Amino acid sequence: MTEVLSEHVGSGSAGGALLEVEDLHVEFRTRAGVAKAVNGVTYSVDAGRTLAVLGESGSGKSVTAQTIMGILDMPPGRITGGEIRFRGVDLLKLPEDQRRKIRGEGISMVFQDALSALNPVFPVGWQIAEMFRMHRGTSRSDARKKAVELMDRVRIPAAKERVNDFPHQFSGGMRQRIMIAMAIALDPEVLIADEPTTALDVTVQAQIMGLLAELQRDSNMGLILITHDLGVVADVADEIAVMYGGRIVEKAPVHDLYRNPAHPYSKGLLESIPRVDLKGQELYAIKGMPPNLLEMPTGCAFHPRCPYRRDNCVTDVPPLYTISGTRGSACHYWREVIDDGSR
Amino acid sequence: MTAPAESILEVRDLVKHFPLTQGIVFKRQIGAIKAVDGVSFDLHRGETLGLVGESGCGKSTLAKLLMALERPTSGSVRVNGRDITQAKGGELKRMRRNIQMVMQDPYTSLNPRMTVGDIVGEPFEIHSDVVPKGGRRRKVQELLEVVGLNPDHINRYPHQFSGGQRQRIGIARGLALQPEIIICDEPVSALDVSIQAQVMNLLERLQNEFNLAYIFIAHDLSVVRHISDRVAVMYLGKIVELGRDREIYERPTHPYTQALLSAVPVPNPEGREQRQRIILQGDPPSPANPPSGCHFRTRCWKAQDICAQQEPLLEIRQGSDHPSACHFAEAKDVVNAP
Ligand SMILES: Nc1ncnc2c1ncn2[C@@H]1O[C@H](COP(=O)(O)OP(=O)(O)OP(=O)(O)O)[C@@H](O)[C@H]1O
Ligand SMILES: Nc1ncnc2c1ncn2[C@@H]1O[C@H](COP(=O)(O)OP(=O)(O)O)[C@@H](O)[C@H]1O
Ligand code: SF4
Ligand code: SF4
Ligand SMILES: [Mg+2]
Ligand SMILES: [Mg+2]
């Protein structure tokens, strides 16, 4: 059929992208069995670019991010294959002291749930200042000054007065800003934002997304934005990686994916968005349920729910086929899907 | 859609203030959280009224008042003409039958130690005259079938179901007493995108089948638009704008509604560079200490002196076709505008 995409697609340049994940495999050994959470994820991001990782809960988005950051729970987690290259160096082969240095200064992360990610017993200013003291050996008073600057930068009103307040004294949106302040404290080259606005109101979401875009513009960071919100993705992504059952099932520049999805799952997601002109009609719904990682379906993991399924889908795992230099789809029948267009 | 709408629920000047106390042994009241602060609206038979607004604006408190799970500070809630806030004992119990609720979180709202049959059938225990004891199991199985679950799974426990299926269990339970009104508080928010559509379709199908009236609370404005006939926008305990779905989404007149709609990301990247956004700064003020006059004035870009002095009433003003609580209400299409 088509040749298999061996190199990453997306923002990668000839010399390799800033951060590249290649064929990553992660599993969890649980009492109920081995959960294959990540089954060959390949994606990359370059300076100044935004890669959106789109997928439903349990599809392996956060586990991939935690593995990049080197904060995966091991055990029960186990990395069973793949590479994570930052500036060409495989992080998985680095000793812990070198990884610790990259964490925060090279790559940093904003978590979905700021309340549980921040330490409840320390003032927020102290927690931000700690980044400078730990990584840079900055003096107590300088670090504190920098913390106030950062709180200002992420627009915490009256930052100077609030530097000694505790996390629970801030609203959800402000806590998320504080998380962002900590994440950008050391000027990282790549920022991973894991569902940074999922728990927030749309008004606050708009503030936070605006802030992230501004910070990215100022410092030319590469941004990996993990989300399940098709609106947010359409708004900010340059490239998209769609995950399903621990794999990337489609990769594409943002306009291509929304105009013309190449995988039945991405197509189904786009079609299930409520549309004004279809009000009063049934919503399109992908039938069935997301896969159980303990008993992944054979062949293509999406086959029990797929309207394009043929016999070989049940037996043959589709590789990530190359569609063009920037696009790939893990569907045996991607041509048909593309030909059908999006609604 | 249909001829003169018949009101099944009439809410008038509803107020709920929670006392704000200080001291542990000798509590003294130092103020009040004005969770619901003068809300009036009607719900018609068979219609869906969407309810939107930021976290903490009073949506869930309003829902609890309508179900008489909380006593209001003042105001009335008439269900088929009778005030549920004044009802007691047997009458209250009978009236409650008619208003059921489907909750947000399918993971915590179901008792993990009860079987699906017990959960769905529990309303029959409380209202034992509805279905005779011998017929209950069959009735529960019918309900499971109605919501698209396998009736043979009646003896399973909630953890054996997915999020979407648990939400169906909650819906089946809500239907048990054949209510005329169901209040859905964020019924699809906790669900995955692909499952949301399934549950939304189910809710619409059941509405048509049983002529249910819904109050549909959700923070996803496109979901609300899809299902609602009319939409009420809440801010700090008050309804600030109320209208048919097109009136609210295409001709919003209240600055808060305009900001809310304009903050919703459009799931289409075409033309995103040109899109204009109204980004509200800060968080809503505390409901314990709302601003004078118009509650929204501290975040409003159109605020004038009068806004601090005089509370704008929820009414139809010149040049607009639906009620809005703004002195300077003026229609503006923020969704389709470039
Ligand atoms: N039992 C209570 N005692 C004191 N304050 C309360 C109580 N219940 C609710 N409140 C307060 O009333 C206000 C409205 O709360 P409510 O739960 O109705 O908000 P909501 O609009 O449902 O928000 P969300 O979108 O987060 O669910 C909030 O400030 C809340 O903290
Ligand atoms: N510490 C852990 N122990 C066992 N299983 C885990 C652990 N962390 C994640 N998982 C499982 O890995 C899968 C992928 O999770 P995750 O990456 O968090 O998904 P998401 O795409 O929602 O971010 C899920 O099935 C999850 O239950
Ligand atoms: S490989 Fe087959 S089952 Fe999988 S998405 Fe493509 S058509 Fe569907
Ligand atoms: S009444 Fe004044 S402050 Fe309130 S929304 Fe209208 S213009 Fe803004
Ligand atoms: Mg996650
Ligand atoms: Mg609520």
pLDDT at A343: 55
- Write out chain B residues lying below 8 Å of A287, CB-based: 198
pLDDT at A3: 43
Q: What is the pLDDT along chain B (338 residues), one digit of tens a residue?
A: 445 578 999 999 999 999 887 777 777 777 888 999 999 999 999 999 999 998 889 999 999 999 999 999 999 999 999 999 999 999 999 999 999 988 876 667 788 899 999 999 999 888 888 888 888 899 999 889 888 888 888 999 888 887 778 888 988 898 888 899 999 998 887 777 878 888 889 889 889 999 999 999 988 888 999 999 999 999 999 999 999 999 999 999 999 999 999 998 989 999 888 888 888 877 788 888 899 999 999 999 999 999 999 999 999 998 789 999 999 999 887 766 54
| CA–CA dist B47, B216 (Å, integer) | 10
* Contact state of B222 with A285 under an 8 Å Cβ cutoff: no
Q: Locate all alpha helices (DSSP H) within chain B, ordered by sequence.
A: 59-66, 89-97, 116-126, 136-146, 163-175, 193-210, 221-227, 245-250, 255-263, 305-309
DSSP letter assigned to residue B315: B
Q: Which residues line ligand 4 (CB under 6 A)?
A: B 254-255, 294, 296-297, 300, 302-303, 307, 312, 326-328
Q: Which domains does chain A have, with CATH numbers?
A: 19-106+186-340 (3.40.50.300)
* Contact state of A283 with B201 under an 8 Å Cβ cutoff: yes
A232 touches chain B (CB under 8 A): yes
pLDDT at B337: 57
pLDDT at A329: 97
Nearest CA to ligand 1 atom 31: B56
Q: Name residue B185's beta-bridge partners.
A: B217
- Of all helices (H) and strands (E), which one includes residue A135? helix A124-136
**Tens digit of pLDDT for each residue in A187-239?**
899 999 998 887 788 888 888 898 899 889 999 999 999 998 999 999 999 99
**Tens digit of pLDDT for each residue in A107-122?**
999 987 777 788 989 9
How many other CB atoms are there within 10 angstroms of residue A3's CB atom?
8
Higher pLDDT, A323 or B189: A323
B205 Cβ neighbours under 8 A, 6+ residues apart: none
* Contact state of A157 with B282 under an 8 Å Cβ cutoff: yes
Q: In which residue are the tokens 């009104």 written?
A: B181
Segment among A29-33, A245-249, A313-317 with least mean pLDDT: A29-33
Residue of chain A with shortest Cα separation from B220: A202
| CA–CA dist A124, B9 (Å, integer) | 47
Amino acid at B62: L
Q: Which residues line ligand 3 (CB under 6 A)?
A: A 264, 300, 302-303, 306, 308-309, 313, 318, 331-333
How many other CB atoms are there within 10 angstroms of residue B276's CB atom?
8
Nearest CA to ligand 3 atom 6: A331
A69: left (phi over 0), alpha (psi -120 to 50) or beta: alpha
Dihedral sign from CA coordinates of A291, A293, A294, A296: positive
Q: From the CB of A35, is ligand 2 less than 6 Å away? A: yes
From start to end of chain A, where are the E strands? 19-30, 33-45, 50-54, 77-86, 89-90, 107-110, 190-194, 222-227, 239-244, 247-253, 321-324, 327-329
pLDDT band at A158 (very low <50, low <70, confident <90, very high): confident
B115 Cβ neighbours under 8 A, 6+ residues apart: B154, B155, B156, B157
Residue of chain B with shortest Cα separation from A284: B197
Distance from Cα B311 to the centre of ligand 4, integer Å: 9
pLDDT at A15: 55
B265 touches chain A (CB under 8 A): yes
Q: Please tell me the distance in Å from A154's CA to the nearest CA on chain B.
A: 12
* Contact state of B219 with A273 under an 8 Å Cβ cutoff: no
- Of all helices (H) and strands (E), which one includes residue A331? none
How many other CB atoms are there within 10 angstroms of residue A324's CB atom?
11
Residues whose beta carbons lie less than 5 angstroms from ion ligand 5:
A 62
A248 in Cβ contact with A242 (< 8 Å): yes
Ligand 3 atom having least distance to the Cα of A336: 7
Dihedral sign from CA coordinates of A305, A310, A315, A319: negative
* Contact state of A174 with B192 under an 8 Å Cβ cutoff: no
Residues in chain A: 343
pLDDT band at A25 (very low <50, low <70, confident <90, very high): very high
Distance from Cα A187 to the centre of ligand 3, integer Å: 42
B223 touches chain A (CB under 8 A): yes
Residues whose beta carbons lie less than 5 angstroms from ion ligand 6:
B 60
**Best mutation target, A197, A283, A294, A306, to test chain B (most B CBs within 10 A):** A283
Residue of chain A with shortest Cα separation from B199: A285
Q: Which of B17, B51, B59, when mutated, tests ligand 1's pocket best, judged by the most ligand atoms within 8 Å of its CB?
A: B59
Q: In which residue are the tokens 């870009």 written?
A: B301
| CA–CA dist B139, A328 (Å, integer) | 50
Considering the entire predicted model, what is its pTM? 0.88
User: Percent of chain A beyond pLDDT 70?
Assistant: 95
Residue of chain B with shortest Cα separation from A238: B269
* Contact state of A274 with B226 under an 8 Å Cβ cutoff: yes
**Tens digit of pLDDT for each residue in A62-112?**
999 999 999 998 888 999 999 999 999 999 999 998 998 899 889 999 987
- Write out chain B residues lying below 8 Å of A238, CB-based: none
